Amino acid sequence: MSATRTATTRELASFLARLRYEDVPDEAVERTKELFLDWLGSALAGKNERPVRILERFSDEMGPSEGPSEVLISRRRTTPLFAALVNGASSHVVEQDDLHNASVFHPATVVFPAALAAAQQTEASGSEFIVASVVGYEAGVRVGSYLGRTHYRVFHTTGTAGALAAAAAVSHLLGSDERTTLHALGSAGTQAAGLWEFLRDAADSKQLHTAKAASDGLLAAYLARDGFTGAQRILEGERGMAAGMSSDADPDRLVDGLGDRWAVLETSFKYHATCRHTHPAADALLKGMKERGLTAADIAGVRARVHAAAIDVLGPVSDPRTIHQSKFSMGFVLALIAREGSAGIDAFTEEALEDAELRAFSKKVEMVLDKEVDAAYPQRWIGVVDVETSGGERFTSRVEVPKGDPGNTLSRAELEEKARNLVAYGGGASGEEIDQIVARIWSLDEEADVRDLLPSRSA
């Protein structure tokens, strides 16, 4: 299908600019609150992570020491640009932020940092923040889906589509019309970047991707508000994103079901603190072991039958050397699942990284491409593992809908527990503070503004 068939960037911009809170179904409003809480927990969990601290120091050095927008991990106030930068990094580092399956895109980590920073400056109401966030999810998910599977082989979609998602959300908060939103998308798209090569070196680039997507999108929206123009066919133009970043772009995915399907309702929560590509196999292994009463010592080998993108992303990580890299190792993740029964945020430590038992088990794991699993992806993430026991038994375990997907979602009680665990892990807030935040988020549509989520550093 030709990527130059229709001016779909304009069609998308028109919808995004015209969307109003009253147009968003109640179910989508409530899910946006849940996604925001989930994101906030992830952002606070990143408080002590080295890459985030480096970006926070950069923000402290380069940005103003005062401003309307919160840097959540330090409780410092600064400008929206630098708040979005740091919050975008901190919310992606522990691998617990949400994911939209079909677009293979993490919306929260780019939409909420930008939207929150701008909303705090503009003193937007809770309902205005909600609809702007819905707009951001719609933009990012649709752009990610449009760019397709070939894009994801080289580009980290959250870094690329994320810049447009952030631009759309902030444009809405700034009251931008269709034309201004279109220019914001153009300026965001020309900055869009994020390459997967960092996985081979255990580099910190993944946090830079989300930090820059959130802040670059915000930059694009503010510039467009003041008359700065951007490419009007940034997605489908002859030298646009599809032309340079994809060979299977599908323009229909930009506008299909606009106003009927809602990206927030299609987005998954992450149950395990790992790369999402490991989750289906992790769930399948856990299910098979529980059904047969097996322990890690009972297992001689595991073959994870996966989609091609899992091999592309996880394949380079054969010998994880950092905690973050271990979350992209199928062998290491399944070793934790087999021995601990979970792969939660507290399971990934320096001690676990050097644990001889976990290392030995990880060598028993292999990934193989499965045609059925690959054909279903990315709309469905099926989990299939073939297991051989130490006694010579062989069996296959299968999970159709991983934990956290819309068809197997987390309850509000589970989301609250997850958020509290994340906050405790990073030490980003006290128990009393997170209780207050939870209560405030559940009534977000009634809030006069979204300022002062946490007491300032000087308080």
CATH number of the domain that residue 302 is part of? 3.30.1330.120
Same domain flag for 208 and 335: no
Tens-place pLDDT, residues 384-428? 999 999 999 999 999 999 999 999 999 999 999 999 999 999 999
Same domain flag for 219 and 344: no
Which pLDDT score, from 0 to 100, does residue 456 have? Answer: 82
| pTM of the complete model | 0.95
Same domain flag for 305 and 235: no
CA-based nearest residue to 279, from 394, 404, 363? 404
Domain limit, last residue, from 366, 385, 403: 403
* Sequential DSSP letters for 412-431: HHHHHHHHHHHHHHHT-S-H
CA-based nearest residue to 97, from 86, 87, 107? 107
Same domain flag for 224 and 107: yes
CA-based nearest residue to 107, from 74, 135, 79, 65? 135
How far apart (Å, rounded) are the C-alpha atoms in residues 148 and 104?
Answer: 9
Let me know: does 395 contact 412? Beta carbons within 8 Å. Answer: no
Same domain flag for 152 and 42: yes
Residue 446 belongs to a domain = no
Q: Which domain holds residue 223?
A: 8-268
How far apart (Å, rounded) are the C-alpha atoms in residues 148 and 154?
Answer: 11
How far apart (Å, rounded) are the C-alpha atoms in residues 393 and 372?
Answer: 24
C-alpha angle 272/297/311, rounded to 5°? 45
Same domain flag for 152 and 88: yes
* Residue 157 identity: T
Residue 450 belongs to a domain = no
Tens-place pLDDT, residues 159-190? 999 999 999 999 999 999 999 999 999 999 99
User: Which residue in the block uniquely carries the two structure tokens 């959130």?
Assistant: 214
Which pLDDT score, from 0 to 100, does residue 1 have? Answer: 37
How far apart (Å, rounded) are the C-alpha atoms in residues 243 and 263?
Answer: 25
Which pLDDT score, from 0 to 100, does residue 97 have? Answer: 97
Same domain flag for 234 and 294: no
Same domain flag for 34 and 116: yes
How far apart (Å, rounded) are the C-alpha atoms in residues 12 and 7?
Answer: 9
Which pLDDT score, from 0 to 100, does residue 6 have? Answer: 59
Residue 458 belongs to a domain = no
By three-state DSSP, how is residue 311 classified?
Answer: helix
By three-state DSSP, how is residue 409 classified?
Answer: coil
Residue 410 belongs to a domain = no
Which parts of the chain sit beneath pLDDT 70? 1-7, 457-459
Q: Other C-beta atoms within 10 Å of 451: how many?
A: 16
**Tally of structural domains, the chain:** 2
Same domain flag for 18 and 156: yes
Residue 442 belongs to a domain = no
Same domain flag for 321 and 371: yes
What is the torsional sign of CA 86, 226, 24, 166? negative
Residue 109 belongs to a domain = yes
- The tally of CA atoms less than 13 A away on the side-chain side of residue 276 is 28
CATH of the domain at 229: 1.10.4100.10
Q: Please measure the distance between the N-terminal and C-terminal CA atoms of the chain and give it in whole angstroms.
A: 57
Residue 190 belongs to a domain = yes
Residue 258 belongs to a domain = yes
Domain limit, last residue, from 403, 422, 442: 403
Domain limit, last residue, from 268, 291, 312: 268
Query: 378 preceded by cis ω (within 30°)?
Result: yes
Same domain flag for 121 and 183: yes
Token code pair at residue 49: 């992570």
Let me know: does 308 contact 319? Beta carbons within 8 Å. Answer: no
Same domain flag for 192 and 288: no
State how beta strands 76-78 and 267-268 pair. Answer: unpaired
